[in-house]
């Protein structure tokens, strides 16, 4: 079976700063994976390399395809900061995605929007930060992608809405898809994770099964705190 993601000798520099240092990892499909690390550890840079937004040294294969036009067709990326025109209405955002992505399911987008009670005619600039994030997350998750890269998808969402979003949106994707989530809210998403990756100082330092951690009587959040206390 082709791996969802295969990364070999990945390096990325910004000037003299090494943001990713010889990263090697293979990720099988159909998993929900937490990419976990402190600020500045390289998480966003990794996502941007996989999604084709940054050049890099090394090799990245997405379902066997090198990063480029073909891989972009099957990768859905949610950046930490919005890139949408705040003068757009929510329905115009969905029109934009529908025109741009062949795999965008507009019916699913409106279905998810209705569950969150967001007005389709509202302008983005009138919405709260958390609601803007909900709209952008819905647009990304309404694509029928094979790999989803989500950079802090619930960071600005109020605690009352997080559980609903996690279980209504993040877990309802096409069968066999892979979701990689970067977040500081480990406790909130831990129960939907299959695997975790710890990254620090531009290096991937640990990759394992969430079930194995739980079988040891621990949580991933506890292990994260133990590991990063040492750095």
pLDDT single digits (tens) 23-44: 999 999 899 999 999 888 899 9
Would you say residue 2 has pLDDT above 90?
no
pLDDT mean over 100-107: 94
Quote the crossing angle between the two packed helices 129-141 and 106-115, to the nearest 10°. Answer: 150
Instruction: Say if CB 73 and CB 19 are below 8 A apart.
Output: no
Separation CA 85–CA 89 (nearest Å)? 9
> If we measure between CA atoms, which residue out of 182, 170, 176 comes closest to residue 34?
182
Instruction: Say if CB 96 and CB 142 are below 8 A apart.
Output: no
Separation CA 221–CA 231 (nearest Å)? 16
Separation CA 167–CA 115 (nearest Å)? 12
105-122 pLDDT per residue, tens: 999 999 989 988 889 999
* pLDDT value at residue 1: 56
Separation CA 228–CA 196 (nearest Å)? 14
> Which CATH number among 3.40.50.300, 3.90.180.10, 3.40.50.720, 1.20.1070.10 corresponds to the domain 5-229?
3.40.50.300
Would you say residue 230 has pLDDT above 70?
no
Structure tokens at 230: 């040492």
Question: How far, CA to CA in Å, does 157 sit from each of 87, 131, 141, 229?
Answer: 21, 7, 16, 27
Secondary structure (3-state) at 80 = coil
pTM: 0.93
């Amino acid at each position: 079976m082709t791996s969802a993601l295969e990364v070999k000798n990945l390096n990325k520099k910004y000037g003299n700063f090494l943001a990713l240092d010889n990263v090697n990892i293979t990720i099988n499909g159909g998993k929900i994976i937490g990419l976990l690390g402190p600020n500045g550890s390289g998480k966003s840079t990794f996502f941007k390399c996989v999604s084709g937004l940054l050049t890099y040294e090394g090799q990245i294969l997405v379902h066997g395809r090198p990063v480029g036009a073909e891989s972009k067709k099957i990768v859905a990326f949610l950046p930490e900061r919005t890139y949408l025109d705040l003068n757009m209405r929510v329905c115009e955002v969905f029109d934009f995605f529908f025109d741009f992505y062949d795999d965008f399911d507009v019916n699913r987008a409106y279905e998810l929007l209705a569950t969150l009670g967001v007005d389709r005619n509202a302008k983005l600039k009138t919405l709260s930060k958390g609601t803007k994030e909900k709209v952008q997350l819905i647009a990304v998750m309404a694509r029928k992608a094979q790999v989803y890269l989500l950079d802090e998808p619930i960071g600005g969402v109020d605690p009352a809405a997080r559980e609903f979003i996690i279980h209504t949106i993040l877990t309802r994707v096409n069968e066999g898809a892979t979701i990689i989530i970067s977040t500081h809210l480990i406790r909130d998403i831990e129960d939907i994770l299959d695997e975790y990756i710890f990254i620090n100082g531009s290096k991937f330092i640990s990759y394992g099964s969430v079930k194995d951690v739980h079988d040891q009587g621990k949580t991933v959040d506890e292990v994260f705190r133990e590991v990063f206390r040492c750095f």
